[in-house]
Structure 1
Amino acid sequence: MSEPTIGARTTGGDDIAQRLPGQDAGTAGGHQQAVVSTSRRWAGSGATRNGGLVVALLLLCVVGWATAGSRFASLQNVEVILSLAAVTGVLAIAMTFVITAGGIDLSVGSVLGLASVWASTLATQAMAQQSGWVVMVGCALAVGLGCGLVNGVLIAYGRVVAFIATLAMLAAARGLAEIIAGRRTQIVSVDSFLDTFRGDVLGLPVIVWIFLVVAVAGWFLLNRTTFGRRTVAVGGNPEAARLAGINVRRHTLYLYGLTGLAAGVGGVMMLARTTAGSSTHGTLIELDVIAAVVVGGTLLAGGRGTIVGTVLGVLIFATLTNVFIQNDLNSSVQAVAKGAIIVGAVLLQQWSARRDTVTT
């Protein structure tokens, strides 16, 4: 599956490969040819990159099988790995869009915690007992979307730097979750919710199916819709995107709304996994999310995103965590290994960007 790409800090995509004001036909045509050439080059490198991620994942599986034997290779453990990857994966899919557009969202973990707490309060659960689990899910999604839109308004219209705006939301959402929960764990007692989201479908947990559905939807949205092409264009060159008729501010608002909504979905999934809402849910998960997106091949500078790579990145980190757990290894060593992987991925991005600059 191909991914939409664009040369770093250059214009590209179907929406902006048009004649801009003041361009003659020859200039516009030359620009379109350059865009096509760049897209083809990135498509080729994307296939190579995803192939490398698959090889890395397989090597991790071999290491896990060699060190933990049948415990690692069992179907039950595979289910554990997929469940571990599910929540991070949903957040990472949405984060891919934001980073592709040249942004960042540090607040997804805190918003997830706030959504899980708000959806599991006594008042919310009392309404859910009468009206069904939809009340809890709707509450979590509304909280997540609301926080995401606040981020989007501050960044797009308030001109606040994304790092600062989302860092403020990280602190505020976590604090509000602690206030609502009173620093206590809120047990989920709504049977209809537990029966629906803790069950299995065709042998896989429901939260894994949610991850798969979100991944497919994310791939389609980024690769086959105008929204995805505009996301790539905004990340590649916001000014060129604006001149091409894209409302960059409004699109940015939508993107942060998307990450907030994903955090709400993650809150529902966390409630299903733990059967409890807590202000500690999602603590530091944003680091794993961003790491998976970067390792998957999405450029931190914006302009190129890959959903397939993100999914592989999430699976790599989930498998790595599981291998360490199976072998009773120190979590500190695991953190060092993750850090080394992230640094290696960033260095590879920089090398790839320099190479493409020279060949352009």
Structure 2
Amino acid sequence: MSSPGVTESQDAEQPARAAGPEQPHESTRRTGGGDLSTRALSLLQTGVGRNAGLVVALLLLCVVGAFTAGDRFASTDNALTILRLAATIGVVSIGMTFVITGGGIDLSVGAILALSSVWCTTLATQVIAEDTHWIVMAGVALLVGIGCGLVNGVLISYGRVVPFIATLAMLASARGLAEIISLRRTQIVTVPGFRDFFTARLLGVEVQVWLFALVAVIGWVVLNRTTFGRRTIAVGGNPEAARLAGINVRRHTVLLYVLVGVCCAIAALMLVARTTTGSSTHGTLYELDAIAAVVIGGTLLSGGRGTIVGTVFGVLIFTTLTNVFTLNNRSISEQSLLKGAIIVVAVLLQQRLANRKSSE
């Protein structure tokens, strides 16, 4: 009598066991669409996912360029032109990456570049360079960049001035000083060897492009493989926690602005060599282009996360976009409109990813 009872109990449990595994499977199947979008957002939160998205965007832009401009875009000379134009703003963007990662912002990079270009091409500087070596011009530009960055850093760290206001004041002051020194005139470079060095070619590629690559590699190593980089991320993520951990937040912030000043000086030398002039109009709106490239690359505007590789791709995307518009005779206004839209989309995507991460 007990035997049939046991058999009946086992038969009753079998459907339950069979139904058990099927329920989650069915649920997973029904929410497949939601899981797909969730996985896509999770992938974009990783460095590999962000860089892969940038590569796809750059490739699509190249396809559009080749389709609309044909051989004019797809030629080797045009590719080298894009790299040469990307080199100058790219060096500035590397410095901007460090500042934004550290929780700051610098609106004065274009003005610092202009002041460096004017000061290193004054008649007195060029006379000394002709009597000695063109490296004097490079030294003057670097000193100007370091000085401006130091002023920004001290005002922000020790003067407690908001970065936006401090660098905005430097933007106006540096541009005005450049106009005073140059009397609003374009200064022609006459020093032999200066332009020859920066426009020389190595393996068919101009030195300026190699210099950009060198700055990018050094920036990646510093940000990802040194104590300075880890402290930059810590200061940008939570300054108070970084201070309690023993980091001198004020000193480190000063160093970040000095670093971006050095990058502006290097970019000024590259621009002077390419145009053979020093001018107070050099670097106009470079601050917007640099910030845009950094944000598109995946560096958080709020600080705490930065990526040099992403910044390089961001610079290439915007430079290629400008090149495509130019080859198709589109106006600068249309370029600016599209760039603004791209920036807004990138910031909105960053906010969505940040909100999703915090909710998890």
Structure 1-normalised TM-score?
0.87
1:285 aligns with 2:286: yes
| Structure 1 residue 264: Cα displacement | 0.6
SS state at 2:318 partner: helix
In structure 2, the partner of 1:234 is 235
In structure 1, the partner of 2:136 is 135
Q: Tell me the alpha carbon deviations over residues 237-257 of structure 1, each in whole angstroms, 9 at most, x when there is no partner.
A: 000000000000000000000
Q: Tell me the alpha carbon deviations over residues 19-76 of structure 1, each in whole angstroms, 9 at most, x when there is no partner.
A: xxxxxxxxxxxxxxxxxxxxxx899611101100000000000000001111101111
In structure 2, the partner of 1:30 is none
Q: Tell me the alpha carbon deviations over residues 214-265 of structure 1, each in whole angstroms, 9 at most, x when there is no partner.
A: 0000000000000000000001100000000000000000000001111111
Q: Is the Cα–Cα contact under 8 Å of residues 93 and 291 in structure 2 kept in the other structure? A: yes
Mapped to 1, the partners of 2:147 and 2:278 lie a distance apart of: 19
Amino acid at match of 1:48: G
In structure 1, the partner of 2:199 is 198
Mapped to 2, the partners of 1:296 and 1:239 lie a distance apart of: 27
| Structure 1 residue 130: Cα displacement | 1.1
In structure 1, the partner of 2:109 is 108
Mapped to 2, the partners of 1:179 and 1:83 lie a distance apart of: 30
Q: Name the structure where helix makes up a greater proportion of residues.
A: 2
Mapped to 2, the partners of 1:270 and 1:60 lie a distance apart of: 26
In structure 2, the partner of 1:15 is none
The Cα RMSD (Å) is 1.1
In structure 1, the partner of 2:61 is 60
Mapped to 2, the partners of 1:171 and 1:102 lie a distance apart of: 22
Q: Tell me the alpha carbon deviations over residues 244-298 of structure 1, each in whole angstroms, 9 at most, x when there is no partner.
A: 0000000000000001111111110110110000000001111000000001000
Mapped to 2, the partners of 1:279 and 1:198 lie a distance apart of: 22
Amino acid at match of 1:198: T
In structure 2, the partner of 1:123 is 124
| Structure 1 residue 192: Cα displacement | 1.1
Q: Tell me the alpha carbon deviations over residues 118-177 of structure 1, each in whole angstroms, 9 at most, x when there is no partner.
A: 000011000111111100000001101100000000001111100000000000000000
| Structure 1 residue 313: Cα displacement | 0.3
In structure 1, the partner of 2:314 is 313
1:243 aligns with 2:268: no
Q: Is the Cα–Cα contact under 8 Å of residues 43 and 50 in structure 2 kept in the other structure? A: no
How many aligned residue pairs are there?
Answer: 319
Mapped to 2, the partners of 1:106 and 1:69 lie a distance apart of: 37
Q: Tell me the alpha carbon deviations over residues 311-347 of structure 1, each in whole angstroms, 9 at most, x when there is no partner.
A: 0000000000000001111111111110110000000
1:263 aligns with 2:264: yes
Structure 2-normalised TM-score?
0.87
Q: Is the Cα–Cα contact under 8 Å of residues 110 and 283 in structure 2 kept in the other structure? A: yes
Structure 1 alignment gaps of length 5 or more: 1-40
Mapped to 2, the partners of 1:294 and 1:44 lie a distance apart of: 14
1:84 aligns with 2:85: yes
Mapped to 1, the partners of 2:57 and 2:298 lie a distance apart of: 14
Amino acid at match of 2:83: L
Mapped to 2, the partners of 1:143 and 1:44 lie a distance apart of: 38
1:325 aligns with 2:326: yes
Amino acid at match of 2:251: R
| Structure 1 residue 94: Cα displacement | 0.6
Larger Rg: 2
SS state at 2:193 partner: helix
SS state at 1:191 partner: coil
In structure 1, the partner of 2:11 is none
Q: Tell me the alpha carbon deviations over residues 177-205 of structure 1, each in whole angstroms, 9 at most, x when there is no partner.
A: 00000000000011110111121111111
Mapped to 2, the partners of 1:70 and 1:167 lie a distance apart of: 42
Mapped to 2, the partners of 1:201 and 1:193 lie a distance apart of: 16
Q: Is the Cα–Cα contact under 8 Å of residues 80 and 205 in structure 2 kept in the other structure? A: yes
Mapped to 1, the partners of 2:317 and 2:45 lie a distance apart of: 22
Amino acid at match of 1:161: V
In structure 2, the partner of 1:222 is 223
Mapped to 1, the partners of 2:43 and 2:342 lie a distance apart of: 22
- % same residue: 68
Mapped to 1, the partners of 2:157 and 2:225 lie a distance apart of: 25
Q: Is the Cα–Cα contact under 8 Å of residues 219 and 308 in structure 2 kept in the other structure? A: yes
